[in-house]
């Protein structure tokens, strides 16, 4: 299954897939948007409740959940791994990419719907969708696919890519930390991991939020010196939009990279680790 699909593709496979509304907002209840209007047939998966593990001082904002917790969340959503999953959001797919990449990591066919809910050609629905009964067997996250802060600090050969916008990569804007709750409201440092290359994930999108052609994205990565994803580790602010870069590399034919879930929100909290400001 390709990492990105169209609404036409979904129409052609409507009986064969699980459609997921994966919209997320840090400043308001995400389920409210789903309840107001969603694509007919879509179930709701919550980034915070379903796709995020226990947040600690060291984990960063977006740690992966334990396999058992993820399995329960997928089962509640009617996902058992037997049917492909297509996820959409209203942010160009940079949020929905988290679910799609997690499932693909476990060899479950999954993709982001290009253009998201804004590109859906029909009327929205406000009725609640009750997922069909499903049991998603717990599966361990593949060894070596998820890197800890210690792993990243010890890297010597891997290429680090930062999916955040340029201004956050350069340290011109503070890293707000709304999802850490009782932990301080902002990351203590600005900037990026030294030697990391900035590849803003939203630059993979057209002005209307559709994913750009694979050859264009391949050219963007090539311009950064990246022609093979196998040696690449992707990060962002909290390990969410970094997944969009990983899907984009697959889409461009570069293969599979790895994720640093802790990302800048974990790295920046360790005062013993270096930080870089400005361009690389």
Catalytic site positions: 236
- Packing angle of the helix pair 214-223, 242-251 (nearest 10 deg): 110
Closest CA to 145 of 205, 232, 219: 232
User: What sign has the CA pseudo-torsion 34, 38, 41, 42?
Assistant: negative
- Packing angle of the helix pair 242-251, 96-105 (nearest 10 deg): 60
How many Å apart are CA 159 and CA 234, to the nearest integer? Answer: 8
Phi/psi at 44 (nearest 5 deg)?
Answer: -105, 135
Please check whether residue 201 is in contact with residue 169, taking contact to mean a CB–CB distance below 8 angstroms.
Answer: no
**Maximum pairwise Cα distance, the chain:** 53
In three state form, how does the secondary structure of 160-210 look? Answer: EEECCCHHHHCCCCCCECHHHCCCCCECCCCCECCCCEECCHHHHECCCCC
Please check whether residue 87 is in contact with residue 113, taking contact to mean a CB–CB distance below 8 angstroms.
Answer: yes
Return the H-helix or E-strand segment holding 86.
strand 85-88
């Amino acid at each position: 299954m390709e990492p990105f699909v169209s609404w036409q593709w979904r129409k052609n496979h409507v009986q064969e897939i699980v459609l997921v509304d994966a919209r997320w907002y840090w400043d308001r209840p995400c389920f409210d948007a789903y309840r107001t209007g969603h694509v007919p047939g879509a179930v709701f998966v919550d980034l915070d409740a379903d796709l995020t593990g226990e947040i600690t001082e060291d984990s960063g904002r977006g740690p992966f959940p334990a396999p058992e917790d993820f399995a329960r969340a997928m089962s509640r959503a009617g996902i058992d791994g037997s049917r492909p999953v297509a996820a959409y959001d209203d942010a160009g797919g940079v949020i929905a990419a988290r679910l799609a990449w997690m499932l693909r990591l476990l060899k479950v066919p999954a993709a982001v719907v290009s253009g998201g809910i804004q590109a859906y050609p029909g009327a929205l629905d406000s009725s609640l969708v009750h997922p069909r009964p499903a049991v998603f067997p717990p599966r361990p996250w593949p060894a070596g696919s998820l890197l800890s802060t210690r792993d990243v600090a010890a890297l010597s050969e891997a290429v680090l890519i930062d999916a955040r916008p340029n201004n956050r990569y350069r340290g011109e804007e503070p890293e707000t930390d709304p999802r850490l709750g009782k932990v301080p409201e902002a990351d203590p440092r600005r900037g990026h991991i030294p030697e990391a290359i900035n590849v803003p994930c939203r630059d993979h999108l057209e002005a209307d939020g559709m994913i750009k052609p694979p050859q264009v994205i391949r050219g963007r990565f090539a311009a950064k010196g990246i022609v093979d994803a196998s040696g690449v580790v992707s990060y962002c602010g909290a390990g969410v939009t970094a997944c969009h870069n990983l899907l984009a590399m697959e889409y461009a034919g570069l293969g599979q990279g790895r994720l640093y879930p802790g990302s800048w929100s974990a790295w920046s909290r360790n005062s013993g680790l270096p930080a870089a400001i400005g361009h690389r």
